[in-house]
Amino acid sequence: MVQKLWKLQGGLKLPGFKTLSNSAGIKALPIPPQLIIPLKQHIGEPAKPIVSVGERVYKGQVIAESNGYISAPVHAPSSGVIAAIDAYPIAHASHIKETSIVIHTDGKDDWHPSVQAVPKPLSLSAEDIRQRIRDAGVVGLGGAVFPSAVKLKPTREIETLIINGVECEPYITCDDVLMRCHADAVIRGILLLGKIIKPHKIVVAIEDNKPEAFQSVINAISKFKEAGITAVATIDVTQVPTKFPAGGEKQLIKVLTGKEVPSGSLPYELGVVCLNVGTTAAIHDALYHGQPLVSRIVTVTGEGVSRPGNYRVLLGTPIDTVLDYADVANRTEAEVIMGGPMMGIALADQAAPIIKAANCLLIKKTEQVRQPVASMPCIRCGQCASVCPMKLLPQQLYWHASSKAFDKLATYHLDDCIDCGCCQVVCPAKIPLVQYFRFAKSELKARERERKKADLSRLRNETRQLRLEKIKREQEERKARRKAARKKTTSRDNETEQAMQSSLKEVSSEGKAVESQMSTKPSPGETSNQQKTMVR
Amino acid sequence: MPLQQSSHVVSAPFIKPQQTISAVMRQVIYAMVPGMAVAFYFFGWGVISNLIIACASALAWESLALFLRKRPIKNYLADGSAVVTAILLGLALPPMAPWWLLLVGTFFAIVVAKQLYGGLGYNALNPAMAGYAVLLISFPREMSAWVAPVTLPMADIGFIQTLHWVFLHQLPGAITFDALTSATPLDYMRTEIGRGVSFNEVRLSATVGVIAGKGIEWINLAILLGGIWLWYKKLITWHIPAMVLTSIAVLSGAFYLYAPERFADPVFHCFSGATMLCAFFIATDPVTASTTPMGKIIYGLGVGCLIYIIRTWGGYPDAVAFAVLLMNFTAPLLDQYTVPRIYGAGQRKG
């Protein structure tokens, strides 16, 4: 069966630099003496710690539990003693700290007794598999770290399950080697996913610059076929043209199905679920071995690395430990980029730990990264628009972002920008477009928040004014009536009192109605906004 | 002022930009080399003197304006945009144009139309065409004094003699400048057809070559080749050139079919005057043209239609400058109303 492919709009053909790191297999890193495990390693609510300092933990033990629907638990990556729960630097472009759990490892690497392989994972119910995936803390390992279990509970019939092995960013090879070395784990993971969401077809997409990985997956499938597992017949392995960002979820869905995910909605609304190969393998580990997500494959690469390659690294391992092991030359002038050269983050602090999102550590020289940009004025050549995979007009966005015309930015769909950076790479004026857009996006978000807050307080103030006016009016009326009543005979006193009471009731009930309106009104907007940010 | 990345917090992408503005401009200049060479072949040293004086004065005006505006002169001179403007103006003006004409033209192009509006990237009007239009209105006599392509090689006016004429208004021996000049093919066609001569007779006259104006047809062909190279290098898109040429061809074709004796044929229009220069190098100036695909199509159509209308019924023989300037005004509006459909827009769910 040959998969029909659609054209990826825009995008760039970039030199891959994949051979630097893709031939040496996967090496395990030794257990470091100290692990720093941030509570927020996924999109959504940070996990809630359930251990205390001094407590002994085992490998795979839950140390922080999931905190809400869109959240994921965090497990101890190795056995040891909890040394601290405090704010530690995280992998970020500026020096930011987040609450993390520190474990002093004992080197024994003892698994928690609850970590047990499931005898026959495929015989479990869909709901059971999903729950186990959730409990194992599996999140999207392609870099988006969206909790996978949430993706696997679609509310409609799924036509296509896409397994993303595209890995379109230059330098990164962790998915490549995973498919080369553990294709059977990926296939078993796919079968589990098929069991949960029952798609009509399953496509494994691999960029055509990874023929070895492609062949490895094909071989694994035929091995399964020979073993009599017929379920693999629905899996279609497809090579997609090498072009950045073909591996972006929205782009890959377009290339494979011809469908476009509408702005602000999720792929499942089109009947598509898309998961990374690394995530699929993690799902396999969670069920076949019962092991939660405690480590991941990290590509360490770059021209200054003596031992570039892919390492299986325990989550929480300090990045400088990884760099020591990979033997990075000239560390003082080395800059570490977490992720690829197109969308990665230049780390402010190399002591920050490896997290679930860390697919690659790209080492560059400082002068290559931290170089002041001498940009020229925009000449509106439109190169940026021709490479934009979302078909936006970066030249117009730039114009409005630099003049802070935020309402215009919304009409030019700034929120659909995926930060891929293609526009900046082709810009002859060397304008840091992505930086402008990120700034404008955060500004837009802040303004939206401000606006909501202002709306709320305005509403509150208006109702307060109304209430005060009413009370004042009532008081005056009462006064007038009392005056009138005093002049009248006492026999009519009862009536006045009744009138007073009923008017009082009216006031209080109206006040309540307004208050309840205030508390319910902003919530729908807020939730839709949250969903949007989670998609990213 | 452009936003600078700080040295402390930097953001992706960490890949060097693939192009620079000066590289783009350099390639545009390379693409004009064939056109310049053929123009030199037919019109002699007058073309070279035009280009040299235009470039020198454009750079001088640019430096002066940047100095007054307190901008880094070296950075902005290196971008090459002033040279491109100068070459366009130098090619558009009659060869052997007097020095002061070029000086005034580049002043309006660089200082008034470009730098006063904020310099590179901020000008609303195409600088070269703004300069050309000012000259055309202010100095009609000098602007219509085109040397005939055939006379010069015969008269054998060398570089030094050319400079003598350009700077000192002197020609060697008994040659008068009037003897060297003739009406341009487009001008000739207009006046003759206006007198009631049929286009077929015009075509047989000495000013017309194989398909269009003598000499000029080959310049247009060379510029077309350069333009196609520019498109191949992805420095321009097909929209504007294709639409300019299509609209000229369709309009002139329709009128030619309607009354072949009164209207010139499409090939004549496409290869006369500055048609090709306009389609590939002038109308495609990114700063002043529309930038969206649909906007470019409308923009190109507008330029082409205006060229034909002004050439046929207007008061000036060639119409490129006015057509481009008029459409420059519409570019911001076109951009606003031709925003392309983005990914995922208008998609039915499910």
Q: CB distance from A15 to chain B under 8 Å?
A: no
Nearest CA-CA distance, residue A255 and chain B, Å? 12
Nearest CA-CA distance, residue B60 and chain A, Å? 20
Lay out the sheet containing A48-49: strands in order across. A48-49, A62-65, A74-75
CA dihedral sign, ordered B114, B117, B119, B122:
negative
What's the CA gap between A324 and A301, in Å, rounded?
A: 13
| pLDDT tier for residue B148 given thresholds of 50, 70 and 90 | confident
One-letter amino acid at A387 equals V
Q: What are phi and psi of A495, to 5 degrees?
A: -60, -45
Burial (0-12, 13-18, 19+ Cβ within 10 Å), B169: exposed
| pLDDT tier for residue B317 given thresholds of 50, 70 and 90 | confident
Burial (0-12, 13-18, 19+ Cβ within 10 Å), B271: buried
B63-109 pLDDT tens trace: 999 999 998 888 888 889 999 999 999 999 998 899 999 999 999 99
Is the pLDDT confidence value at B140 over 80?
A: yes
Query: A328: phi > 0 → left, psi -120 to 50 → alpha, else beta; which?
Result: beta
**DSSP E strands: which ranges in chain B?**
none
What's the CA gap between A400 and A422, in Å, rounded?
A: 19
Burial (0-12, 13-18, 19+ Cβ within 10 Å), A287: buried
Domain hosting B92: range is 21-171
Which chain B residues are within 8 Å of A373, Cβ to Cβ? 4-5
A205-251 pLDDT tens trace: 999 999 999 999 999 999 999 988 888 888 999 999 999 999 999 99
At residue B160, the 3 state secondary structure works out as helix
Q: CB distance from A295 to chain B under 8 Å?
A: no
A480-518 pLDDT tens trace: 999 888 887 665 556 656 666 666 665 555 555 555 555
Q: CB distance from B74 to chain A under 8 Å?
A: no
Instruction: Report the b/e string of A475-514 with b at 16+ CB within 10 A.
Output: eeebeeeeeebeeeeeeeeeeeeeeeeeeeeeeeeebeee
Q: Is residue B309 part of a domain?
A: yes
List the single residue in B14, B18, B119 with the smallest CB-CB distance to A426: B18
Spatial CA neighbour of A201 closest among A237, A173, A177, A169: A237
Cβ count near B228 (within 10 Å)? 15
What pLDDT does residue B291 have?
92
B121/A379 Cβ within 8 A = yes
Average pLDDT over residues A161-185: 94
Inter-residue contact A103 to A52 (CB < 8 Å): no
Cβ within 8 Å of residue A527, ≥6 positions away: none
Inter-residue contact A99 to A29 (CB < 8 Å): no
Q: Clarify whether residues B258 and B323 are in a common domain.
A: yes
What pLDDT does residue A4 have?
85
Is the pLDDT confidence value at B150 over 70?
A: no
Domains detected in chain A = 18-346 (3.40.50.11540)
Q: Clarify whether residues B159 and B188 are in a common domain.
A: no
Lookup: tokens for A211: 């023929």
Q: Clarify whether residues B260 and B149 are in a common domain.
A: no
Place of tokens 């999109």: A43
Share of chain A above pLDDT 70, in %: 91
Cβ count near A50 (within 10 Å)? 14
One-letter amino acid at A423 equals C
Lay out the sheet containing A295-301: strands in order across. A26-28, A309-314, A295-301, A360-365, A334-338, A345-346
The β-bridge relationship of strands A97-105 and A80-89 is antiparallel
Interior angle at CA A394, CA A393 and CA A397, nearest 5? 95
What's the CA gap between A335 and A6, in Å, rounded?
A: 38
Q: Clarify whether residues B322 and B230 are in a common domain.
A: yes
More confidently predicted of B136 and B2:
B136
Is the pLDDT confidence value at A108 over 60?
A: yes
B29-66 pLDDT tens trace: 999 999 999 999 888 888 999 999 999 999 999 999 99
The β-bridge relationship of strands A48-49 and A62-65 is antiparallel
Please list the residues that pair with A314 across neighbouring strands: A295
What's the CA gap between B147 and B90, in Å, rounded?
A: 14
Share of chain A above pLDDT 90, in %: 62
At residue B54, the 3 state secondary structure works out as helix
**DSSP state letters, A306-320:** SS-EEEEEETT-BHH
Domain boundary among B120, B149, B171: B171
The mean pLDDT of chain A is 87
Q: Is residue B342 part of a domain?
A: no
What pLDDT does residue B161 have?
81
Q: Is residue B138 part of a domain?
A: yes
What's the CA gap between A147 and A41, in Å, rounded?
A: 10
At residue A403, the 3 state secondary structure works out as coil
The mean pLDDT of chain B is 88
Query: Integer distance in angstroms from the first to the last C-alpha of chain B?
Result: 46
Q: Is residue B55 part of a domain?
A: yes
Q: Clarify whether residues B150 and B268 are in a common domain.
A: no
Average pLDDT over residues A368-375: 77
What pLDDT does residue A408 have?
87
Spatial CA neighbour of B188 closest among B311, B93, B68: B311
Cβ count near B172 (within 10 Å)? 13
B12/A346 Cβ within 8 A = yes
Q: Which of B 19-38 lie inside 8 A of A, CB atoms?
A: 19-21, 23-24
**ipTM surpasses cut 0.95:** no
Q: Clarify whether residues B69 and B119 are in a common domain.
A: yes
Mutate to test the interface with B, among A266, A337, A381, A443 (most CBs of B within 10 A): A381
Burial (0-12, 13-18, 19+ Cβ within 10 Å), B139: middle
Question: Looking at chain A, which residue has its C-alpha nearest residue B76?
Answer: A376
What pLDDT does residue B276 have?
94
Cβ count near B337 (within 10 Å)? 12
Lookup: tokens for B210: 């194989």
Q: Is residue B302 part of a domain?
A: yes
Q: Clarify whether residues B222 and B128 are in a common domain.
A: no
Q: Is residue B16 part of a domain?
A: no
List the single residue in A382, A391, A427 with the smallest CB-CB distance to B342: A391
Cβ within 8 Å of residue B155, ≥6 positions away: B175, B179, B180
Question: Looking at chain B, which residue has its C-alpha nearest residue A378?
Answer: B121
Q: What are phi and psi of A292, to 5 degrees?
A: -70, 175
A250-267 pLDDT tens trace: 999 999 999 999 888 888
Is the pLDDT confidence value at A355 over 90?
A: yes
Q: Clarify whether residues B277 and B165 are in a common domain.
A: no
What pLDDT does residue A367 have?
80
Is the pLDDT confidence value at A520 over 50?
A: no
Domain boundary among B128, B143, B171: B171
Inter-residue contact A386 to B239 (CB < 8 Å): no
Q: What is the pTM of this model?
A: 0.83
Mutate to test the interface with B, among A376, A422, A433 (most CBs of B within 10 A): A376
CA dihedral sign, ordered A150, A152, A158, A161:
positive
What pLDDT does residue B114 have?
95
The 8-class DSSP code of residue A231 comes to: G
What pLDDT does residue B170 have?
79
Q: Clarify whether residues B156 and B201 are in a common domain.
A: no
| pLDDT tier for residue B1 given thresholds of 50, 70 and 90 | very low
Nearest CA-CA distance, residue A507 and chain B, Å? 47
Question: Looking at chain A, which residue has its C-alpha nearest residue B19?
Answer: A428
* Among the ranges given (A37-41, A431-435, A494-498), the one the predictor scored with the smallest mean pLDDT: A494-498
Cβ within 8 Å of residue A446, ≥6 positions away: none
Domain boundary among B136, B171, B206: B171
Number of domains in chain B: 2
What's the CA gap between B331 and B298, in Å, rounded?
A: 9
B226-259 pLDDT tens trace: 999 999 999 999 999 999 999 999 999 999 999 8
B132 to A360, A415, B103, B318: CA distances (angstroms): 56, 43, 11, 11
Q: Clarify whether residues B146 and B227 are in a common domain.
A: no
Inter-residue contact B207 to B213 (CB < 8 Å): yes
B159-215 pLDDT tens trace: 888 888 888 887 777 677 777 777 788 888 888 888 888 888 888 877 777 777 788
Q: Is residue B343 part of a domain?
A: no
Q: Clarify whether residues B195 and B68 are in a common domain.
A: no
Q: CB distance from B349 to chain A under 8 Å?
A: yes
Question: Looking at chain B, which residue has its C-alpha nearest residue A266?
Answer: B349
Q: Clarify whether residues B199 and B254 are in a common domain.
A: yes
Q: CB distance from A402 to chain B under 8 Å?
A: yes
What's the CA gap between A165 and A172, in Å, rounded?
A: 12
What pLDDT does residue B12 have?
83
What's the CA gap between B239 and B283, in Å, rounded?
A: 11
Q: Is residue B117 part of a domain?
A: yes
Which chain A residues are within 8 Å of B339, Cβ to Cβ? 393, 396, 412
A138-166 pLDDT tens trace: 999 988 899 999 988 877 889 999 999 99
Nearest CA-CA distance, residue B1 and chain A, Å? 9
The 8-class DSSP code of residue B113 comes to: I
Burial (0-12, 13-18, 19+ Cβ within 10 Å), B315: exposed
Q: CB distance from A392 to chain B under 8 Å?
A: yes
A421/B350 Cβ within 8 A = no
At residue B224, the 3 state secondary structure works out as helix
Q: CB distance from A304 to chain B under 8 Å?
A: no
Which chain B residues are within 8 Å of A434, Cβ to Cβ? 11-13
List the single residue in B4, B287, B341 with the smallest CB-CB distance to A391: B341
Q: CB distance from A303 to chain B under 8 Å?
A: no
